[in-house]
Amino acid sequence: MPSIPTISTTPPAINSLDKVANNKSTMDKDGFLKLFVAQLQHQDPTAPMDTADSMQQMSSFSMVEQITNMASQNTKIADSLSTANAVGLIGRTVTYIDADKVSQTGTVERVATGKDGKASLTIAGKSGIDPASITEVA
In the chain, where are the structural domains located? 12-82, 88-137
The pLDDT assigned to 23 comes to 52
Amino acid at 80: S
The pLDDT assigned to 45 comes to 80
Q: What is the mean pLDDT of each run of 10 residues along the chain (138 residues)?
A: 46 45 60 80 80 81 86 89 91 94 95 88 93 93
Given a contact cutoff of 8 angstroms between Cβ atoms, the answer to whether 118 and 82 are in contact is yes
Kind and range of the H or E run holding 93 = strand 93-97
* Beta strands 134-137; 93-97: pairing state: antiparallel
The pLDDT assigned to 25 comes to 59
Q: Report the CATH architecture of 88-137.
A: Roll (2.30)
The two most distant CA atoms of the chain are separated, in Å, by 87
